[in-house]
Amino acid sequence: MAVPRGADAAVAVPVPAGPALDLERFAVLTEMCAAPGSPATIGALVDAFVEDAQIRVAEVRKALQARDLAALMHLAHELKGGSATIGAVGLAGVAVGVQRRVRVAAGRPTLLASDVEDLERLIDLAGSEFRRAELALRAASQEKVL
C-alpha cells in the first residue's frame, strides 16, 4: 500500500501491535459479573460479545460491498463500542480506523478505488482482530472459572 498523503495521511491502515484484550478492563467486568445480584456471568457476556461482533464484522463487509458509507460508519461505531466495553482493544482500534477512513471517503464526491482498498484491508484486519479477541476472551473467561 502506498503511504497516504494529504488528508489521507491521518487514516493509514493501522496494524495492531498490542494485546487483543485489555486484561484490567476484563477483570473489572469479571468482578461485576461475580457480584451478588448480577444478571449475567462473564461467560454469558463473552458469548454475547462474540456472537454480536462476528455479525458486525460480516455486516461491515456487506456495507462496503454495497458502498453504503453511512451503514459502514454506524456498524463500525457499534463494533468499536462493544469491543471497547469488553476490553477487545485491538478490534476496537481497527473499528476506529474504519470510522476514520469512512470519514475521509465520505468527504469526496465519489468513492475512490484507494478508499475501497484501504477499507477492505481494514475489514480484513477486523476479522483477524475478532479472532484474536475471541481466543483471548475465551481463555481469560476460562481462567476466571477455574
pLDDT of residue 18: 86
Which residue from 76, 88, 95 is spatially nearest to 50, judged by alpha carbons? 88
pLDDT of residue 48: 97
pLDDT level of residue 15 (50, 70, 90 thresholds): low
Query: Quick one: cell of 16?
Result: 495492531
Class of domain 20-33+40-145: mainly alpha
Average pLDDT over residues 8-13: 50
Tell which wins on pLDDT, 31 or 13: 31
pLDDT of residue 56: 97
